[in-house]
Amino acid sequence: MKMMNRMGFVLVWFLVASCASSRDVVCRSRSRAQNGTLVDCSHTQVTSLSDVGISGVDVSDVILLDLSYNQQLEWRSGSLSGFSCLRHLNLSHNDLQELDQHAFHGLEELETLDLSYNNLTALTSRTFANLPHLQRLLLDHNQVSSLEEDVFENLTHLRHLDLGHNHLQVLYNNIFSSLAHLNWLGLGSNRLQRLETGAMTGLDRLINLDLSDNKLKLTSSVYPAWVFASLGQLQLLHLEYNDDDTIGEYPDNVFSDLVSLTLLSIDTFNEVHFGRDFAALRSIHTLDLSKNCQINYIANTSFEGFKNSTLSFINFQFCSLEIEACAFCELPSLDRLWFMYSHFQTPNHILESLYGLQHQTMTEIKLQGIGDSLPFYHVIDSHSARYLRNICVKNFTMSSCNIQRVAGNALTVQNTPFFRCVEHIDVSMNAIFGDASTLLKMMMSDGPLRSLALQDQIRFTITGAQCLVSQDFRCKDYFRDGGYDENKYTMGFRTSMNISYLNMSSIFPHLNPLPVNWTFPSAKHLKILDLSYLGFANCRMTFYGLENLETLSLNGNYCYNMTEKMLDFLDSLTKLSLSNFGFNPLFLKSRGWRLFENVDQLQFVDLSRNDLPFTDPDMLRVQRRLKELDFSYNRFQKMPVNLDNHGDLRMLDLSHNSLGTLTSSERSALDSLARRHAFSLKLLGNPLECACFNLDVVQWLWHTPVSLDGEGRQANYTCTTETGEITSTERVMAQWMSHWRRCVGVQMFGIALSALLLQLLAIVVTFIVVRSWTQLCYAWKAIRRYRLPRRHHFHRDAYIVYSEAQDDVILACVTLRVAVEERYGVRLLLRDREELPGSVKAETVVQHIDDSWKVVLLVTRDLSQDEWACGFTVQQAQRSITDTMPDRVIVVFFEEPRDLPAMPSLQLLLRMVPERNILHVHRDTPPQHQVWKTLADLITREH
């Protein structure tokens, strides 16, 4: 059967291979009734358009032609003139070097022309002259260094023009003057050094202008006054990465025309001053200084031009900031403020600069990576947080700021705007240790706080832990009922009613021993709880009060000793992470199902990195909605889960285990999941085998609809052959024939060898038979004799055949019985003794003969006249003589044969009876006569 399968595979393989080798330059085309035909010739290595295999397609019907990624393509002018309806032409990623003035002749309908990623160096005036409907022209990533003055003339419908990543140095006056509808102009990453006064003339509808990454110094000689005069509609202006100077000033009379600008991204100097020119930006929203930030000092007057403006977001990422106290005064619309990666500034200093924002309502204040390169820790106390406390801000982040302590009265003063407004606090990745009371108090308050990220306080150690679990420390009031109660072993964790997210992972790595039960009496809205890496070593706790919890993470604790009731009251849990959890594999195998019994809503389960060698495949049997299951980094040699339980599964991660193969039922279960919906399987890092027995798995990996590790592409896995050679599934597939032949060869060799041996045997046997026929016959007989019938196999020694005449009955039943049976112990079968007289039937006779060792015929005159006895019975007696019992029948004549009438059947019988079995006896012979002994001997004789 397996052989047949393999043969089938080979056949298919041949077909596929031969098809692939006759591959031609054929473009894919799709025709749609209303939209015309789309032709995709990308990646085909066509050299000229006459090669393009689009026969059968009416070129005048084609509206989209993709010729990208054909490095050999040689473009000849007018070669597309037949494509009169073409609207979208993609020529990107080719090696086009020039386009003459008739390049696009005949393509009047063209709307999109993509020439990006070519080697064009110059654009001449008439190249685009005949494309009146062009809307998008992509020329980026070429080497264009010069533009003829009227190159874009007549492109009056153009909306999008990308000239980025070229070698342009100068923009002449009026070069864009006919592009009255242009919205988007990309000139980034060129070599522009100067803008001529009229360079932007005519761009009345421009919305987005990218001039970043050029050499445009922020001086008035580079930006002549009123150069942006026509850009009254411009909303987004990118000028970053132009000027590396540390000292300078923004030019005057340049920005004041940008009355619609909402976003400005611009280079900075050590000291910036946004002067009166910027006051005209009535719609400004975002000021992005992050791209090339040189600022190290912000004075009270730095944002003078933005005072009382609509500016709402300033991004100071990567600025190294020294800020004067009133820098943000009179910025009433300021809503979001980012200070990031100012590694040598203290967070306290930044907080001081919030002076001007007091009593304002903001969405976000974010400090991240502030002061983290300074050699000391920071303490946020009541004084340094005094301005922050007066700001009503929703999201407050102060992460990675090297903060050691947030004082109790720094943030949690009741009725301050901060306390009343803050919804999300992120103080993760600091070094908070000891007293975390402020944050915990915040969490328990009935304010609007909804999420608290406290995780990754690398120095939040023993003190903090003890603080949480004992009543002797300052934080004792965080626990209801006076905190940790030795008798109840219950830890109550009162939280704000509103809190929905609480991340405490990696905050106190020595929190042991743990209380038995954790109760969260007020956490009705808590949805996400992260208690990872808290150093739990004894996990005999049950969580109470978290009926609405959806996500629980307990990664990185050591729960070898745990209770199966841990998850019993987490009714809404959908996502559970128990990675690196130190499971006892025996516990999980025998009681795992009990642990998961009550969390039947689970959709995501992570059991990775537990070093499990085995588990109960039906452990997650109640989790019918499971979508993702992560079993990576264990030691499974077999599929650890019964896939039949999880028809909804979308992702199964089995990477980095010890799987060598997958059984055919596992493979078909995986296939059927993949046929139902998108399903991916991760298998990297397993010691897969590509030995002969496993070739069908290798083949399955290649053809399965399951999406394997490589996104979309078929994944390639390392595998080991039976000789221990390390190769890869891809290589095995590439050399499939040789592997197949080798493997099938082994089987074939076995079969061929057996056949050869059989032939040899046949020859030898024939030879022996021919040579020693006689001996063999003897041997055969010897064997047969072994199986000859013996006397003791029969019920009786002799069946006596006699006529029904009175004399004959006496002869048999008296004389013979006395002389043979009684004297010599021969067991006779006498008809009249066995059954009622007159009931002789054919079957009985046959039966009696079969039951007897010998048949004795008493031939008398009466018998010769008895038709029944003489006819049927004698025939049967004759038939009982066989090869194995040649002297079965004994004939005893009581008359001279010649005196008897002719009996044809008896004559026939006598021919088959050996002479010694024929006796002649007188009726009156006495019982002691020798002849009866002879008869008895004849009867009992065995061969």
Ligand X SMILES: *[C@@H]1O[C@H](CO)[C@@H](O)[C@H](O)[C@H]1NC(C)=O
List residues near ligand X by CB under 6 A.
34-35, 95, 119, 125-126, 129, 150, 153-154, 307-308, 330, 363-364, 395, 424, 451
User: 557, 528 in Cβ contact below 8 A?
Assistant: no
Scan for tokens 């038939």, then name that residue. 879
* Inter-CA distances, 537 with 417, 509, 533, 563, 607, Å: 41, 10, 11, 12, 17
CB of 595 to ligand X, least distance (A): 31
User: 93, 69 in Cβ contact below 8 A?
Assistant: yes
Give the residue with the Cβ less far from ligand X, 154 or 173.
Answer: 154
CB of 119 to ligand X, least distance (A): 4
d(CA 421, CA 360): 11
In whole angstroms, how large is the CA radius of gyration of the chain? Answer: 52
Report the interhelical angle of 2-21 vs 736-771 (nearest 10°). Answer: 140
CB of 126 to ligand X, least distance (A): 5
Q: What is the DSSP string of 130-195?
A: T-TT--EEE--SS---EE-TTTTTT-TT--EEE--SS---EE-TTTTTT-TT--EEE--SS---EE
CB of 194 to ligand X, least distance (A): 25
CB of 652 to ligand X, least distance (A): 30
CA angle 360, 365, 366 (to 5 degrees): 170
Give the residue with the Cβ less far from ligand X, 341 or 583.
Answer: 341
d(CA 478, CA 499): 15
CB of 29 to ligand X, least distance (A): 14
CB of 717 to ligand X, least distance (A): 35
d(CA 455, CA 319): 26
CB of 309 to ligand X, least distance (A): 9
Which residues have CB under 8 Å from 598's CB, separation 6+? 567, 568, 569, 570, 571
Picking from 510, 548, 511, 514, the residue whose alpha carbon sits closest to that of residue 529 is 548
Give the residue with the Cβ less far from ligand X, 129 or 216.
Answer: 129
Give the residue with the Cβ less far from ligand X, 306 or 478.
Answer: 306
CB of 140 to ligand X, least distance (A): 13
- Cis (ω within 30 of 0) for the bond into 513? yes
Measured in whole angstroms, how far is the alpha carbon of residue 481 from the centre of its chain?
Answer: 49
* Inter-CA distances, 883 with 785, 846, 880, 888, 918, Å: 11, 18, 10, 10, 19
**Residue 930, H or E segment:** helix 930-940
Report the interhelical angle of 695-703 vs 736-771 (nearest 10°). Answer: 150
Measured in whole angstroms, how far is the alpha carbon of residue 502 from the centre of its chain?
Answer: 30
d(CA 492, CA 650): 38
Instruction: Give the residue nearest to ligand X (CB).
Output: 129
CB of 262 to ligand X, least distance (A): 18
CB of 443 to ligand X, least distance (A): 15
* Inter-CA distances, 76 with 105, 139, 445, 545, Å: 11, 19, 75, 76
Scan for tokens 């397609």, then name that residue. 57
DSSP assigned state of 485? B
d(CA 46, CA 26): 9
CB of 307 to ligand X, least distance (A): 3
d(CA 804, CA 51): 113
Structure tokens that stand for 647 in this block: 């028809």
d(CA 455, CA 89): 53
CB of 43 to ligand X, least distance (A): 18
CB of 703 to ligand X, least distance (A): 33
Sheet containing 796-801, strands listed edge to edge, beginning at the edge strand earlier in sequence:
828-829, 796-801, 852-859, 889-893, 918-920
Give the residue with the Cβ less far from ligand X, 405 or 450.
Answer: 450
Give the residue with the Cβ less far from ligand X, 495 or 608.
Answer: 495
User: 797, 821 in Cβ contact below 8 A?
Assistant: no
CB of 463 to ligand X, least distance (A): 28
CB of 125 to ligand X, least distance (A): 5
| Range 220-258 burial, b when 16+ CB lie within 10 A, else e | eebbbeebbbbbeebbbbbbbbbbeeeebebbeebbbbb
User: 570, 578 in Cβ contact below 8 A?
Assistant: no
Give the residue with the Cβ less far from ligand X, 35 or 934.
Answer: 35
Give the residue with the Cβ less far from ligand X, 153 or 600.
Answer: 153
CA angle 339, 344, 347 (to 5 degrees): 50
Give the residue with the Cβ less far from ligand X, 30 or 943.
Answer: 30
